[in-house]
Structure 1
Amino acid sequence: MIERIVPEAVVAVEAFGDARTDTWLFPEERAVIARAVDKRRREFTAARGCAHDAMAKLGVPAAPLLPGERGAPAWPAGVNGSITHCAGYHAAAVASAGEVAALGIDAEPHAPLPGGVLDAIALPGEAARLRNLSAADPSISWDRLLFSAKESVYKTWFPLTGRPLAFEGADLAFERDGTFTARILVPGVPAVLGPPLRGRWLVGAGLAMTAIAVPTPVPTPSPKETTHDGRR
C-alpha cells in the first residue's frame, strides 16, 4: 500500500502482521533492544527488516540502522529514509539523497482518535476543515489522518533541522483526492521545505497512512558558468 503514495524515486517495503519478527539484525541493532519488552523488540525487528530490504532494493550496502537523536533512525550517508509501524503493520521508505532531500511516512489504525486527542493536536482552522470533510465523507477518519500527517511532517522536518516541531507548528489541509499540504508556522524553515510541504494520504486495509517526499533541489548554474547562448 505505502508504495502508492510515494514517488518513483522512493523505494518502500511493508509487512503485515508479525511476518518480519525473525528478521536478521546486526549485532549493534540487537544490542539496542537487548533489554526491551517483547512488543518493542518485535516492532523494532520487523521495521528494521523492512528498512534493510528497502536499502537493498535501492542498491545501498547493508548497514545497521541505529536510533539517533530523539530515536530517529540514523541512515547511511547519501540515503534519506523513514520508518513507521503500528499494530499489525510495519513499513520503511528510502531514497537517494541526490533525489529526495527529506522523507516522512506514517501509518495508523484507521479509527477515530481517542477522546480529547484531536483538541490537543489540531489548530482551529484544521478542526473546522475536518468538520467539513467529515460531513462530505464520514467514512474517513479525518482526525486520524491529521494525526498521521503531522507525524509525517515531523519526520520530514527533524532530520533537516535537528529541532522539535510541536503539533501546532504546522497547519495542514486535506483534499479528498488523496493529497494534503502543510504550512510550517515556526521560524527558520529550510527553503527546501516549502511553502508549503505537499503530501499524499491513503486509507485501506484498516490503516490510514500518509507520506511526504521532498525533492532535492536542482543546483542553478551561476552566471559565470553559463554563456549567452546557454552553453557551459
Structure 2
Amino acid sequence: MIEAILPLGVASVDTFDDPPGASLCPEEEALVDQAVEKRRREFTTGRWAAREAMTRLGRPPAALLRGPRGEPRWPTGLVGSITHCKGYRAAVVAETSVLATVGIDAEPDEPIPGDVFAAVSLPAERERNARLRLTHPGVSWDRLLFSAKESVYKAWYPLMGRWLDFEEADVTIDPAGGTFSARLLVPGPRLRGRELTGFTGRWLARKGLVLTAIAVDGG
C-alpha cells in the first residue's frame, strides 16, 4: 500500500501482519533482548521488510543496527525508512543516487487526544485542521498531521543529525491532491549547494490507516 505514495526507484515492502518467517540478524537480537513481545514482533517485521526491500533493489540483505537516536543505520549507498503501527508494518529503501533522504509513517485513522494534538501542533495548523474536519469529513486530519510530522522528522534527521521539534515545522495538508508541505521554521540542511527550507510529501487514507511519505530527490 505504501508504494502508492512513493516515487519510482524506491523499493518498498509492507504487511498487515507479522510473517512467521520473519527473523532478526544475530547483531540485531541484542537490540530487543529485553523488549516485550509486541515490541519484538514490530521490530522484527520492520527489519525483515527492510531486508526484503534491499533484495528488490539488487542489494544483499544486511543487519540494521541503531544510530544515536534509535534510527536504523543503513548500509553505505542506501537511504531508507521503517514504520509500524497496529496492524501494519512497512519499510522503504532507495539508492543515494536516487534519493537524498526518505521518511515514512503509518498511523491508525482515528482521532488522537486533544492534549496530545495540542502538544504536537502549531496554532495555525490547528486552525487549518479544524476547517478540514468541517469541509472534508471522513479522515482523521489530526492524526494525519501527526503522521506527516513524523515523516518530516524521519526525512530531516539523516540530513541534519539532530532532533527536530514538532513546533519547528509548519505542515499544510492538501485534502484533494493527497499531498502535504512542511515549511521548516529553523535553518535546514544544504543540498546541492542550496538550503532546504521545507519538504513536500504525499498521504493516503485507506484500510483504517493514514500513511505519509517524503522522498527528496538525490540527483
Give TM-score, length-normalised by structure 2. 0.95
Offset of 1:7 from its aligned partner?
0.4
Offset of 1:135 from its aligned partner?
1.0
- Whole-Å Cα distance in 1 between the matches of residues 114 and 184 of structure 2? 26
- Whole-Å Cα distance in 2 between the matches of residues 120 and 47 of structure 1? 28
- Kindly name which structure, 1 or 2, has the bigger radius of gyration based on alpha carbons: 1
Offset of 1:196 from its aligned partner?
2.9
Aligned match of 1:8: 8
- Whole-Å Cα distance in 1 between the matches of residues 123 and 20 of structure 2? 41
Aligned match of 1:227: none
Offset of 1:21 from its aligned partner?
4.8
Q: State the secondary structure of the residue aligned to 2:114.
A: coil
Give TM-score, length-normalised by structure 1. 0.90
Aligned match of 2:27: 28
- Whole-Å Cα distance in 2 between the matches of residues 206 and 102 of structure 1? 27
> Gaps (5+ residues) in structure 1?
218-232
User: Pick from 214, 217, 227: which aligns with 2:216?
Assistant: 214
Aligned match of 1:195: 197
Q: State the secondary structure of the residue aligned to 2:27.
A: helix
- Whole-Å Cα distance in 2 between the matches of residues 129 and 135 of structure 1? 10
- Whole-Å Cα distance in 2 between the matches of residues 30 and 182 of structure 1? 36
The answer to whether structure 1 residue 181 and structure 2 residue 181 are counterparts is yes
**Amino acid in the other structure paired with 2:91:** A
Offset of 1:24 from its aligned partner?
2.7
- Conservation of the 8 A alpha-carbon contact between 2:23 and 2:45: no
The answer to whether structure 1 residue 101 and structure 2 residue 69 are counterparts is no
Deviations 1:153-190 (A, max 9, x none): 00000111111000001000010110000011112x11
Q: Could you tell me the percent identity over the aligned residues?
A: 53
Aligned match of 1:224: none
Q: State the secondary structure of the residue aligned to 2:69.
A: helix
Deviations 1:56-102 (A, max 9, x none): 00111121011111100000000000000001110000100011000
Aligned match of 2:85: 86
Offset of 1:30 from its aligned partner?
1.5
Q: Which structure 2 residues correspond to residues 11-160 of structure 1 after superposition, within 5 A?
A: 11-18=11-18, 20-160=19-159
Offset of 1:110 from its aligned partner?
0.4
- Conservation of the 8 A alpha-carbon contact between 1:21 and 1:45: no
- Conservation of the 8 A alpha-carbon contact between 1:21 and 1:42: no
Name whichever of 27-36 and 175-184 sits farther off: 27-36
- Conservation of the 8 A alpha-carbon contact between 1:184 and 1:196: yes
